[in-house]
Structure 1
Protein backbone atom coordinates (compact mmCIF):
# COMPACT_ATOMS: atom_id res chain seq x y z
CA UNK A 1 0.00 0.00 0.00
CA UNK A 2 1.28 3.44 -0.87
CA UNK A 3 2.08 5.87 1.91
CA UNK A 4 -0.44 8.71 2.17
CA UNK A 5 0.67 11.97 0.62
CA UNK A 6 0.54 15.26 2.48
CA UNK A 7 -2.74 16.05 0.71
CA UNK A 8 -4.32 12.83 1.94
CA UNK A 9 -2.87 12.84 5.41
CA UNK A 10 -5.40 15.09 7.07
CA UNK A 11 -6.56 18.12 5.15
CA UNK A 12 -7.43 19.94 8.36
CA UNK A 13 -3.78 19.96 9.36
CA UNK A 14 -2.35 21.26 6.08
CA UNK A 15 -0.55 24.58 6.35
CA UNK A 16 -1.55 26.27 3.11
CA UNK A 17 1.46 28.56 3.24
CA UNK A 18 3.99 25.71 3.23
CA UNK A 19 2.31 22.55 1.94
CA UNK A 20 0.20 23.73 -1.00
CA UNK A 21 1.39 24.41 -4.53
CA UNK A 22 -1.28 27.12 -4.82
CA UNK A 23 -1.77 28.40 -1.26
CA UNK A 24 -4.01 31.26 -2.36
CA UNK A 25 -6.43 28.73 -3.84
CA UNK A 26 -6.51 26.80 -0.57
CA UNK A 27 -7.09 30.02 1.35
CA UNK A 28 -9.96 30.93 -0.97
CA UNK A 29 -11.57 27.52 -0.49
CA UNK A 30 -11.32 27.72 3.28
CA UNK A 31 -12.41 31.32 3.73
CA UNK A 32 -15.27 31.47 1.22
CA UNK A 33 -18.63 32.04 2.88
CA UNK A 34 -22.19 32.26 1.66
CA UNK A 35 -22.46 36.00 2.23
CA UNK A 36 -25.76 37.65 3.08
CA UNK A 37 -24.39 41.08 4.02
CA UNK A 38 -24.28 43.21 0.87
CA UNK A 39 -23.61 46.88 0.28
CA UNK A 40 -26.97 48.04 -1.13
CA UNK A 41 -25.47 51.31 -2.39
CA UNK A 42 -22.97 49.72 -4.80
CA UNK A 43 -23.36 47.30 -7.70
CA UNK A 44 -20.81 45.23 -9.57
CA UNK A 45 -19.88 46.56 -13.00
CA UNK A 46 -20.21 44.75 -16.32
CA UNK A 47 -16.52 43.89 -16.52
CA UNK A 48 -16.65 42.18 -13.13
CA UNK A 49 -19.81 40.26 -14.00
CA UNK A 50 -18.24 39.05 -17.24
CA UNK A 51 -15.06 38.02 -15.40
CA UNK A 52 -17.11 35.98 -12.91
CA UNK A 53 -18.87 34.17 -15.73
CA UNK A 54 -15.59 33.59 -17.58
CA UNK A 55 -14.14 31.96 -14.47
CA UNK A 56 -17.29 29.88 -14.08
CA UNK A 57 -16.94 28.55 -17.62
CA UNK A 58 -13.51 27.12 -16.79
CA UNK A 59 -15.18 24.46 -14.63
CA UNK A 60 -14.82 20.84 -15.71
CA UNK A 61 -17.65 19.34 -17.76
CA UNK A 62 -18.39 15.97 -19.29
CA UNK A 63 -16.62 15.74 -22.66
CA UNK A 64 -16.22 19.51 -22.50
CA UNK A 65 -19.87 19.91 -23.53
CA UNK A 66 -20.15 22.94 -21.21
CA UNK A 67 -23.92 22.54 -20.75
CA UNK A 68 -24.46 25.79 -18.90
CA UNK A 69 -25.80 29.31 -19.35
CA UNK A 70 -25.93 32.30 -16.99
CA UNK A 71 -28.86 34.70 -16.76
CA UNK A 72 -28.09 37.93 -14.90
CA UNK A 73 -30.82 40.13 -13.43
CA UNK A 74 -29.95 43.66 -12.26
CA UNK A 75 -33.06 45.72 -13.00
CA UNK A 76 -34.56 46.77 -9.65
CA UNK A 77 -38.15 45.94 -10.56
CA UNK A 78 -37.16 42.53 -11.89
CA UNK A 79 -35.09 41.85 -8.77
CA UNK A 80 -38.24 42.55 -6.73
CA UNK A 81 -40.06 39.89 -8.75
CA UNK A 82 -37.16 37.49 -8.30
CA UNK A 83 -37.28 37.99 -4.53
CA UNK A 84 -40.92 36.86 -4.61
CA UNK A 85 -40.01 33.82 -6.72
CA UNK A 86 -37.24 33.00 -4.24
CA UNK A 87 -39.68 32.94 -1.33
CA UNK A 88 -38.77 36.36 0.02
CA UNK A 89 -34.98 36.09 0.16
CA UNK A 90 -34.32 39.82 0.50
CA UNK A 91 -30.55 39.60 0.06
CA UNK A 92 -31.19 39.21 -3.66
CA UNK A 93 -32.36 42.81 -3.76
CA UNK A 94 -29.55 44.04 -1.51
CA UNK A 95 -26.91 42.34 -3.66
CA UNK A 96 -28.04 44.21 -6.75
CA UNK A 97 -27.23 41.30 -9.06
CA UNK A 98 -28.74 37.85 -9.26
CA UNK A 99 -27.38 35.18 -11.61
CA UNK A 100 -29.25 32.01 -12.45
CA UNK A 101 -26.95 29.16 -13.46
CA UNK A 102 -28.82 27.10 -16.03
CA UNK A 103 -27.99 23.59 -17.26
CA UNK A 104 -28.93 21.94 -20.56
CA UNK A 105 -30.76 18.62 -20.42
CA UNK A 106 -30.10 18.17 -24.14
CA UNK A 107 -26.60 18.01 -25.69
CA UNK A 108 -27.02 21.19 -27.76
CA UNK A 109 -23.25 21.75 -28.03
CA UNK A 110 -22.33 18.20 -29.07
CA UNK A 111 -21.69 18.76 -32.81
CA UNK A 112 -19.42 21.73 -32.20
CA UNK A 113 -17.59 20.21 -29.23
CA UNK A 114 -16.73 16.90 -30.86
CA UNK A 115 -15.53 18.73 -33.98
CA UNK A 116 -13.21 20.66 -31.66
CA UNK A 117 -11.89 17.39 -30.19
CA UNK A 118 -10.92 16.33 -33.72
CA UNK A 119 -9.46 19.71 -34.68
CA UNK A 120 -7.30 19.64 -31.54
CA UNK A 121 -5.98 16.20 -32.43
CA UNK A 122 -7.42 14.70 -29.26
CA UNK A 123 -9.69 12.25 -31.12
CA UNK A 124 -9.82 10.96 -34.65
CA UNK A 125 -13.03 11.59 -36.58
CA UNK A 126 -14.31 8.02 -36.20
CA UNK A 127 -13.79 7.98 -32.43
CA UNK A 128 -15.35 11.40 -32.04
CA UNK A 129 -18.44 10.38 -33.99
CA UNK A 130 -18.85 7.18 -31.97
CA UNK A 131 -18.39 9.04 -28.69
CA UNK A 132 -20.86 11.70 -29.74
CA UNK A 133 -23.46 9.04 -30.55
CA UNK A 134 -22.94 7.44 -27.12
CA UNK A 135 -23.37 10.84 -25.50
CA UNK A 136 -26.54 11.59 -27.44
CA UNK A 137 -27.93 8.20 -26.41
CA UNK A 138 -27.27 8.96 -22.74
CA UNK A 139 -29.12 12.25 -23.02
CA UNK A 140 -32.10 10.37 -24.48
CA UNK A 141 -32.74 9.15 -20.94
CA UNK A 142 -34.71 12.06 -19.42
CA UNK A 143 -33.39 11.52 -15.91
CA UNK A 144 -29.79 11.18 -17.07
CA UNK A 145 -30.09 14.30 -19.20
CA UNK A 146 -31.32 16.27 -16.20
CA UNK A 147 -28.57 14.80 -14.01
CA UNK A 148 -25.96 15.93 -16.55
CA UNK A 149 -27.47 19.42 -16.54
CA UNK A 150 -27.47 19.74 -12.76
CA UNK A 151 -24.06 18.20 -12.12
CA UNK A 152 -22.18 20.19 -14.73
CA UNK A 153 -23.90 23.49 -13.99
CA UNK A 154 -23.23 22.99 -10.26
CA UNK A 155 -19.50 22.76 -10.97
CA UNK A 156 -19.72 26.04 -12.86
CA UNK A 157 -21.65 27.62 -9.99
CA UNK A 158 -18.92 26.71 -7.51
CA UNK A 159 -16.31 28.31 -9.77
CA UNK A 160 -18.48 31.44 -9.87
CA UNK A 161 -18.67 31.54 -6.07
CA UNK A 162 -14.91 31.12 -5.65
CA UNK A 163 -14.23 33.81 -8.26
CA UNK A 164 -16.55 36.20 -6.43
CA UNK A 165 -14.80 35.51 -3.14
CA UNK A 166 -11.36 35.97 -4.71
CA UNK A 167 -12.50 39.41 -5.92
CA UNK A 168 -13.67 40.47 -2.47
CA UNK A 169 -17.36 40.17 -3.31
CA UNK A 170 -20.12 38.60 -1.28
CA UNK A 171 -22.08 35.79 -2.94
CA UNK A 172 -24.61 33.26 -1.78
CA UNK A 173 -26.07 30.33 -3.72
CA UNK A 174 -29.75 29.45 -3.45
CA UNK A 175 -31.71 26.39 -4.51
CA UNK A 176 -34.81 27.55 -2.64
CA UNK A 177 -36.86 29.17 -5.40
CA UNK A 178 -39.87 28.46 -7.57
CA UNK A 179 -38.10 26.60 -10.36
CA UNK A 180 -40.95 26.68 -12.85
CA UNK A 181 -41.77 30.28 -12.02
CA UNK A 182 -38.14 31.38 -12.46
CA UNK A 183 -37.86 29.47 -15.75
CA UNK A 184 -40.94 31.28 -17.06
CA UNK A 185 -39.85 34.66 -15.67
CA UNK A 186 -36.43 34.41 -17.32
CA UNK A 187 -37.84 32.89 -20.53
CA UNK A 188 -35.63 29.82 -20.41
CA UNK A 189 -35.67 27.54 -23.44
CA UNK A 190 -37.27 24.12 -23.12
CA UNK A 191 -33.93 22.40 -22.53
CA UNK A 192 -32.92 24.89 -19.80
CA UNK A 193 -32.85 23.58 -16.22
CA UNK A 194 -32.69 26.20 -13.41
CA UNK A 195 -29.93 24.88 -11.15
CA UNK A 196 -28.57 27.52 -8.77
CA UNK A 197 -29.54 31.14 -8.17
CA UNK A 198 -26.65 33.29 -6.94
CA UNK A 199 -26.92 36.69 -5.30
CA UNK A 200 -23.65 38.55 -5.80
CA UNK A 201 -22.42 42.05 -5.05
CA UNK A 202 -20.00 44.19 -3.04
CA UNK A 203 -19.71 43.07 0.56
CA UNK A 204 -21.45 45.07 3.24
CA UNK A 205 -19.04 43.96 5.96
CA UNK A 206 -18.37 41.01 8.23
CA UNK A 207 -20.49 37.89 8.18
CA UNK A 208 -21.43 35.72 11.19
CA UNK A 209 -18.99 33.01 12.22
CA UNK A 210 -19.20 29.85 10.14
CA UNK A 211 -21.48 27.21 11.61
CA UNK A 212 -19.80 23.89 12.53
CA UNK A 213 -18.90 21.60 9.65
CA UNK A 214 -18.88 17.82 9.85
CA UNK A 215 -15.46 16.39 10.67
CA UNK A 216 -13.41 14.59 8.02
CA UNK A 217 -13.46 11.49 10.23
CA UNK A 218 -17.25 11.49 9.99
CA UNK A 219 -17.60 11.94 6.24
CA UNK A 220 -14.55 10.16 4.77
CA UNK A 221 -15.08 6.48 3.98
CA UNK A 222 -12.33 4.26 2.61
CA UNK A 223 -12.83 1.48 0.06
CA UNK A 224 -16.54 1.06 0.97
CA UNK A 225 -19.11 3.19 2.74
Structure 2
Protein backbone atom coordinates (compact mmCIF):
# COMPACT_ATOMS: atom_id res chain seq x y z
CA UNK A 1 0.00 0.00 0.00
CA UNK A 2 1.38 3.45 -0.92
CA UNK A 3 1.65 6.23 1.66
CA UNK A 4 -1.05 8.16 -0.22
CA UNK A 5 -3.43 5.19 -0.08
CA UNK A 6 -2.80 4.86 3.64
CA UNK A 7 -3.54 8.55 4.11
CA UNK A 8 -6.74 8.30 2.09
CA UNK A 9 -7.97 5.43 4.24
CA UNK A 10 -7.44 7.51 7.40
CA UNK A 11 -9.69 10.35 6.25
CA UNK A 12 -12.73 10.98 8.40
CA UNK A 13 -15.53 13.52 8.20
CA UNK A 14 -14.14 16.09 10.64
CA UNK A 15 -10.87 16.33 8.70
CA UNK A 16 -12.66 18.89 6.53
CA UNK A 17 -12.67 21.38 9.41
CA UNK A 18 -8.87 21.91 9.33
CA UNK A 19 -7.79 20.28 6.07
CA UNK A 20 -4.44 22.10 5.81
CA UNK A 21 -3.39 21.09 9.33
CA UNK A 22 -4.37 17.46 8.79
CA UNK A 23 -2.59 17.39 5.44
CA UNK A 24 0.56 18.89 6.98
CA UNK A 25 0.67 16.25 9.72
CA UNK A 26 0.10 13.37 7.31
CA UNK A 27 2.38 14.50 4.51
CA UNK A 28 5.33 15.78 6.54
CA UNK A 29 8.50 13.81 6.02
CA UNK A 30 11.93 13.80 7.64
CA UNK A 31 13.70 14.54 4.38
CA UNK A 32 17.33 14.30 3.37
CA UNK A 33 17.10 15.83 -0.11
CA UNK A 34 18.07 19.50 0.10
CA UNK A 35 18.86 22.10 -2.54
CA UNK A 36 22.45 22.91 -1.64
CA UNK A 37 22.43 25.93 -3.98
CA UNK A 38 19.70 27.74 -2.04
CA UNK A 39 19.87 29.24 1.45
CA UNK A 40 17.19 29.69 4.08
CA UNK A 41 16.58 33.44 4.39
CA UNK A 42 16.45 35.26 7.73
CA UNK A 43 12.76 36.14 7.48
CA UNK A 44 11.76 32.50 7.01
CA UNK A 45 14.11 31.31 9.74
CA UNK A 46 12.59 33.76 12.20
CA UNK A 47 9.06 32.77 11.16
CA UNK A 48 9.83 29.11 11.78
CA UNK A 49 11.21 29.89 15.26
CA UNK A 50 8.16 32.05 15.96
CA UNK A 51 6.02 29.00 15.16
CA UNK A 52 8.20 26.86 17.42
CA UNK A 53 7.56 29.26 20.28
CA UNK A 54 3.80 28.59 20.00
CA UNK A 55 4.25 24.97 21.04
CA UNK A 56 2.49 23.67 24.16
CA UNK A 57 4.45 24.36 27.32
CA UNK A 58 3.71 23.19 30.85
CA UNK A 59 2.87 26.24 33.01
CA UNK A 60 3.81 28.29 29.92
CA UNK A 61 7.42 28.33 31.13
CA UNK A 62 8.67 27.97 27.53
CA UNK A 63 11.94 26.34 28.61
CA UNK A 64 13.57 26.27 25.21
CA UNK A 65 16.30 27.99 23.20
CA UNK A 66 17.38 27.64 19.56
CA UNK A 67 20.82 28.10 18.03
CA UNK A 68 20.77 28.48 14.24
CA UNK A 69 23.99 27.81 12.35
CA UNK A 70 24.62 28.73 8.71
CA UNK A 71 28.37 29.31 8.65
CA UNK A 72 29.94 26.75 6.31
CA UNK A 73 32.96 25.97 8.50
CA UNK A 74 30.81 25.51 11.60
CA UNK A 75 28.42 23.28 9.66
CA UNK A 76 31.39 21.14 8.62
CA UNK A 77 32.30 20.71 12.28
CA UNK A 78 28.72 19.82 13.15
CA UNK A 79 28.70 17.19 10.41
CA UNK A 80 31.74 15.57 12.05
CA UNK A 81 30.09 15.72 15.48
CA UNK A 82 26.95 14.22 13.95
CA UNK A 83 28.86 11.17 12.73
CA UNK A 84 29.09 12.24 9.10
CA UNK A 85 25.49 13.22 8.38
CA UNK A 86 26.27 15.28 5.29
CA UNK A 87 22.68 16.44 4.79
CA UNK A 88 23.30 18.94 7.60
CA UNK A 89 25.75 20.81 5.36
CA UNK A 90 23.56 20.34 2.29
CA UNK A 91 20.59 21.85 4.10
CA UNK A 92 22.58 25.01 4.77
CA UNK A 93 21.03 25.58 8.20
CA UNK A 94 21.25 23.56 11.39
CA UNK A 95 19.19 24.37 14.46
CA UNK A 96 20.26 23.11 17.85
CA UNK A 97 17.22 22.82 20.11
CA UNK A 98 18.04 23.28 23.80
CA UNK A 99 15.97 22.77 26.92
CA UNK A 100 16.30 24.59 30.23
CA UNK A 101 17.29 22.59 33.30
CA UNK A 102 16.56 25.49 35.66
CA UNK A 103 13.25 27.40 36.11
CA UNK A 104 14.71 30.65 34.86
CA UNK A 105 11.49 31.97 33.28
CA UNK A 106 9.25 31.25 36.29
CA UNK A 107 9.19 34.72 37.86
CA UNK A 108 8.28 36.46 34.61
CA UNK A 109 5.76 33.83 33.49
CA UNK A 110 3.80 33.64 36.72
CA UNK A 111 3.67 37.42 36.95
CA UNK A 112 2.12 37.32 33.49
CA UNK A 113 -0.46 34.81 34.77
CA UNK A 114 -1.38 37.25 37.55
CA UNK A 115 -1.32 40.35 35.31
CA UNK A 116 -3.67 38.62 32.87
CA UNK A 117 -6.13 37.91 35.66
CA UNK A 118 -5.82 34.16 35.26
CA UNK A 119 -5.06 33.86 38.98
CA UNK A 120 -4.45 36.23 41.85
CA UNK A 121 -0.97 36.99 43.18
CA UNK A 122 -1.23 34.46 46.01
CA UNK A 123 -2.35 31.65 43.69
CA UNK A 124 0.36 32.59 41.20
CA UNK A 125 3.02 32.37 43.90
CA UNK A 126 1.71 28.99 45.09
CA UNK A 127 1.61 27.59 41.57
CA UNK A 128 5.07 28.97 40.85
CA UNK A 129 6.40 27.19 43.92
CA UNK A 130 4.99 23.91 42.60
CA UNK A 131 6.51 24.43 39.17
CA UNK A 132 9.89 25.50 40.52
CA UNK A 133 9.87 22.57 42.95
CA UNK A 134 10.02 20.15 40.04
CA UNK A 135 13.57 21.29 39.41
CA UNK A 136 14.68 20.22 42.88
CA UNK A 137 15.02 16.77 41.33
CA UNK A 138 17.85 17.07 38.80
CA UNK A 139 16.47 14.34 36.55
CA UNK A 140 12.95 15.76 36.64
CA UNK A 141 14.23 19.22 35.75
CA UNK A 142 16.22 17.81 32.85
CA UNK A 143 13.28 15.74 31.63
CA UNK A 144 11.02 18.79 31.86
CA UNK A 145 13.29 20.76 29.55
CA UNK A 146 13.65 17.90 27.08
CA UNK A 147 9.93 17.19 26.87
CA UNK A 148 8.91 20.80 26.37
CA UNK A 149 11.68 21.54 23.88
CA UNK A 150 10.71 18.42 21.91
CA UNK A 151 7.22 19.86 21.45
CA UNK A 152 8.77 23.05 20.09
CA UNK A 153 10.98 20.99 17.76
CA UNK A 154 7.92 19.31 16.24
CA UNK A 155 6.50 22.76 15.51
CA UNK A 156 9.70 23.56 13.61
CA UNK A 157 9.23 20.47 11.48
CA UNK A 158 5.58 21.25 10.72
CA UNK A 159 6.29 24.92 10.04
CA UNK A 160 9.10 24.01 7.67
CA UNK A 161 6.88 21.56 5.83
CA UNK A 162 4.04 24.08 5.54
CA UNK A 163 6.50 26.53 3.96
CA UNK A 164 7.69 24.02 1.34
CA UNK A 165 10.99 23.40 3.10
CA UNK A 166 12.66 20.13 4.01
CA UNK A 167 13.62 19.42 7.62
CA UNK A 168 14.86 16.40 9.49
CA UNK A 169 15.47 15.96 13.24
CA UNK A 170 18.49 14.15 14.66
CA UNK A 171 19.35 12.90 18.11
CA UNK A 172 22.38 11.00 16.82
CA UNK A 173 25.18 13.48 17.48
CA UNK A 174 27.83 14.25 20.06
CA UNK A 175 25.64 16.31 22.38
CA UNK A 176 28.47 17.63 24.53
CA UNK A 177 30.63 18.35 21.50
CA UNK A 178 27.96 20.36 19.68
CA UNK A 179 27.07 22.24 22.88
CA UNK A 180 30.72 23.18 23.36
CA UNK A 181 31.11 24.17 19.71
CA UNK A 182 28.12 26.51 19.89
CA UNK A 183 28.93 27.88 23.37
CA UNK A 184 25.69 26.58 24.89
CA UNK A 185 25.49 27.23 28.65
CA UNK A 186 25.94 24.21 30.91
CA UNK A 187 22.39 24.50 32.24
CA UNK A 188 20.92 24.09 28.74
CA UNK A 189 20.47 20.47 27.66
CA UNK A 190 20.84 19.68 23.93
CA UNK A 191 17.63 18.02 22.80
CA UNK A 192 18.05 17.58 19.07
CA UNK A 193 19.56 18.94 15.90
CA UNK A 194 17.34 19.90 12.99
CA UNK A 195 18.66 20.26 9.46
CA UNK A 196 16.39 22.66 7.56
CA UNK A 197 16.53 24.19 4.12
CA UNK A 198 14.98 24.48 0.68
CA UNK A 199 13.79 21.19 -0.74
CA UNK A 200 15.87 19.39 -3.32
CA UNK A 201 12.92 17.40 -4.68
CA UNK A 202 10.94 14.29 -3.91
CA UNK A 203 11.85 11.95 -1.07
CA UNK A 204 11.60 8.14 -1.09
CA UNK A 205 8.18 6.78 -0.26
CA UNK A 206 7.45 6.64 3.44
CA UNK A 207 8.27 3.35 5.12
CA UNK A 208 5.33 1.55 6.81
CA UNK A 209 4.08 2.89 10.13
CA UNK A 210 2.64 0.72 12.89
CA UNK A 211 -1.10 0.24 12.64
CA UNK A 212 -3.47 1.99 15.06
CA UNK A 213 -4.82 -1.38 16.19
CA UNK A 214 -1.28 -2.27 17.28
CA UNK A 215 -0.43 0.90 19.18
CA UNK A 216 -3.76 2.06 20.63
CA UNK A 217 -4.57 0.61 24.06
CA UNK A 218 -7.95 1.37 25.58
CA UNK A 219 -8.49 1.87 29.32
CA UNK A 220 -5.25 0.03 30.19
CA UNK A 221 -2.20 -1.40 28.45
Report the TM-score, using the length of structure 1 for normalisation: 0.93
Q: Which runs of 4+ in 1 moved over 3 A?
A: 11-14, 16-20
Report the alpha carbon displacement of residue 17 of structure 1 after superposing the two structures with TM.
7.6
Q: CA RMSD in A?
A: 1.3
The count of residues paired between Structure 1 and Structure 2 equals: 215
List gaps (5 residues or longer) in structure 1: 1-10
- Contact conserved, 1:17 with 1:23, CA < 8 A, in 2? no
Superposed CA deviations along residues 28-61 of structure 1, whole A, max 9, x for unmatched, are 0000000100000001100000000000000000
Is 1:83 the equivalent of 2:79? yes
User: Quick one: which of 205, 210, 220 aligns to 1:209?
Assistant: 205
Q: Is the 1:101–1:153 Cα contact (8 Å) retained in structure 2?
A: yes
Gaps of 5+ in 2: 1-6
C-alpha change, 1:224 and 1:12, in structure 2 (3 Å) is farther
How many angstroms apart in 2 are the aligned matches of 1:16 and 1:83? 42
Structure 2 partner of 1:3 = none
Question: 1:15, 1:67 → 2: CA distance?
Answer: 35
Distance 2:55 2:93 in 1: 21
TM-score, structure 2 as length reference:
0.94
1:107-122 → structure 2 map (5 Å cutoff): 107-122=103-118
Alpha-carbon distance in structure 2 between the residues aligned to 1:77 and 1:68: 26
Q: Secondary structure at the match of 1:195?
A: strand
The question of 1:171 aligning with 2:167 is answered yes
Q: Does 1:220 align with 2:177?
A: no
Deviation at 1:14, TM superposition (A): 4.3
Aligned match of 2:144: 148
Q: Does 1:24 align with 2:20?
A: yes
